[in-house]
Amino acid sequence: MNSTSESKPGSAGTAAQLRVLLVDDVTMNRRVAELILKHLGCTAVSAEDVHDALRQIRAVEFDFVFTDVEMPDINGIEAIALFHEADRGGHPGRARPLKIVAISAGRIGMTHKDYLAAGFDEHLAKPLEVEQMRAVLHKWDAPAASPPVAPPAAAPVPVAKTASSRITTPLQITEQQLAQLDLHSFLNILNILMGDLQLLTIDLKNPAALAETTHLGKELLELVRAGRLNEEASAKAASLHAAFLKEWSDVLRLTPEAANAKPDRETAANLDSILKVMTVRLKEYQERVRTGVLWKPHSIQLLTDNFVNFFAALEKNSKGRYHIIFNIASQDPADYLVNFRIESVDGDMINMPPVLQDVFRDLIANARKYTPPGGCITAGLHDNGKELRMAVEDTGCGIPPEEVERVVEFGYRATNVREKVTKGGGFGLTKAYYLTTKLGGTMWISSTLGKGTRVTVHIPRPAR
């Protein structure tokens, strides 16, 4: 396969002219994969959801479909049979069957063997890299496998109903699973970081430009995958940030045109933001390890600033898909309106265990994830002297009423948001519920299917 020239349209199955369809709801992910595939000499096109992918598969005879397994409408496993059915309907006389490759964001939920057993021809973990994609494409010369057996049809979406419940589900969770919750969060951050880094490197057309940053990023990724969220990881994150700032400065000095390229500027700014978030999150994690669930005073102004930075990082990572604003008069159709407030009987200080910052952040991130742009997220912390109250409300997709009690279970995700191939996830709610009960508190979940969800937590303050 020619690894430098872009292919021209030709018959499917020709090594240098492989036609590949990318299916991912995140623009940045599609762009990274598309650039890599074109660099490898393929004809690459993309689809932002399964419905768009099915339309394109019927019209064009593709050799490969690379599909994200974490999409909001239909996940990768459910789409396998649909992809093959569309391909057979559109191209009944093709010589080789369509190959379907799963792309996942981490190692939690399913192993490589699990993906193959589910019917995928291959599985790749993000961040995608040139050599791993080259290896998968070279498998086209091997004998083709038979199409997988179609899985059962997805259950119909339930009729909209409202449910409100004080959560009393006995939670069975191991220390290893608790460690996975932290690991999953850091892996997500690093997957985004490595994807952006590779995107910037490809755009610059100079693999050596960010070589040290890439090397340190891979080392940090291995530390996190090994669960080593310690001082070494913090030092590595600091070195990684410093290396990026130096190498990006060199890029701007040696190739001034990069400063005028808007996509490069935006990607570099996002990398800087992600690296700052990573450094802060590692320090917070290490403090939680040291202090456990001990209560301590926090500056409300500092907490507010931290969350404003968190919202800014979410917005920046969207690559312009949405904005987060705090004034309803400024809201455009694709903006999230956020109402956010922290108050305490103690004035400008609020008492709580440090780990609850992470819980609050996870609940807000969940609310944004399951609310389409244009929606509203309301979040608040209040200490009335007797208890700490936390509430996060959204105008998103809601939870099926019969599943409200189950969404706090480890690895469970509601059936109407099948974003994980295991129908899993729910890590934020699991952690929130686990810590709420550990601190002697109570959690309520109120949800209207198709309209939104409110999560409320009350935790009694310890005696002074």
Strand ranges in 286-375 using DSSP code E only, listed in sequence order: 296-299, 323-325, 335-344, 349-352
Q: Domain residues for 26? A: 15-141
Same domain, yes or no, for 343 and 408?
A: yes
What would the mean pLDDT of 13-42 be, rounded to a whole number? 78
State whether residue 128 is helix, strand or coil: coil
Q: Identify the residue whose tokens are 């968190």.
A: 310
Q: Considering the domain boundaries, does residue 388 fall inside one?
A: yes
Q: What is the spatial distance between Cα 247 and Cα 176, in angstroms, rounded to a whole number?
A: 38
Do 270 and 200 contact (CB within 8 A), yes or no?
no
Same domain, yes or no, for 194 and 233?
A: yes
Q: Which of 341, 393, 384 is nearest to 364 (CA)?
A: 393
**450 or 191, which is more confident:** 450
Q: Which of 318, 251, 307, 244 is nearest to 275 (CA)?
A: 244
> Residue 73 belongs to a domain with what CATH number?
3.40.50.2300
**171 or 453, which is more confident:** 453
Give residue 420's pLDDT: 38
- Asked whether residue 236 carries a pLDDT value surpassing 80, the answer given is yes
Max mean pLDDT among 228-232, 250-254, 444-448 falls in 444-448
Same domain, yes or no, for 169 and 311?
A: yes
φ, ψ at 409 (rounded to 5°): -70, 145
Alpha-carbon torsion, ordered 183, 185, 189, 190, to 10 deg = 10
The DSSP output letter for 331 is -
Token couple for 400: 């099926």
Q: Identify the residue whose tokens are 């410093």.
A: 242
Same domain, yes or no, for 411 and 303?
A: yes
What would the mean pLDDT of 100-109 be, rounded to a whole number? 73
Same domain, yes or no, for 189 and 88?
A: no
Q: pLDDT tens-digit profile of 113-166?
A: 878 888 888 988 887 888 888 888 887 654 433 444 455 555 554 456 678 889
**182 or 53, which is more confident:** 53
Same domain, yes or no, for 125 and 62?
A: yes
Same domain, yes or no, for 171 and 83?
A: no
Q: What percent of the chain has pLDDT over 70?
A: 86
Q: Considering the domain boundaries, does residue 253 fall inside one?
A: yes
Same domain, yes or no, for 289 and 349?
A: yes
**172 or 183, which is more confident:** 172
Mention every residue, 6+ apart, whose C-beta is less than 8 A from residue 293.
353, 355, 435, 438, 439
Q: What is the DSSP string of 68-124?
A: ES--SSS-HHHHHHHHHHHHHHH-TT-SSPPEEEEEESSSSS--HHHHHHHT-SEEE
Q: Considering the domain boundaries, does residue 256 fall inside one?
A: yes
Max mean pLDDT among 132-136, 169-173, 369-373, 419-423 falls in 369-373
Least confident of 156-170, 215-229, 382-396, 404-418: 156-170
Domain count, the chain: 2
- Asked whether residue 345 carries a pLDDT value surpassing 90, the answer given is yes
Q: pLDDT tens-digit profile of 260-297?
A: 777 788 888 888 888 888 888 787 777 777 777 789 99
Max mean pLDDT among 10-14, 118-122, 156-160, 255-259 falls in 118-122
Least confident of 161-170, 183-192, 225-234, 299-308: 183-192
Q: Considering the domain boundaries, does residue 153 fall inside one?
A: no
Q: What is the spatial distance between Cα 437 and Cα 432, in angstroms, rounded to a whole number?
A: 9
Q: What is the spatial distance between Cα 214 and Cα 234, in angstroms, rounded to a whole number?
A: 17
Q: Considering the domain boundaries, does residue 152 fall inside one?
A: no
Give residue 154's pLDDT: 52
> Residue 287 belongs to a domain with what CATH number?
3.30.565.10
Instruction: State pTM to two decimals.
Output: 0.60
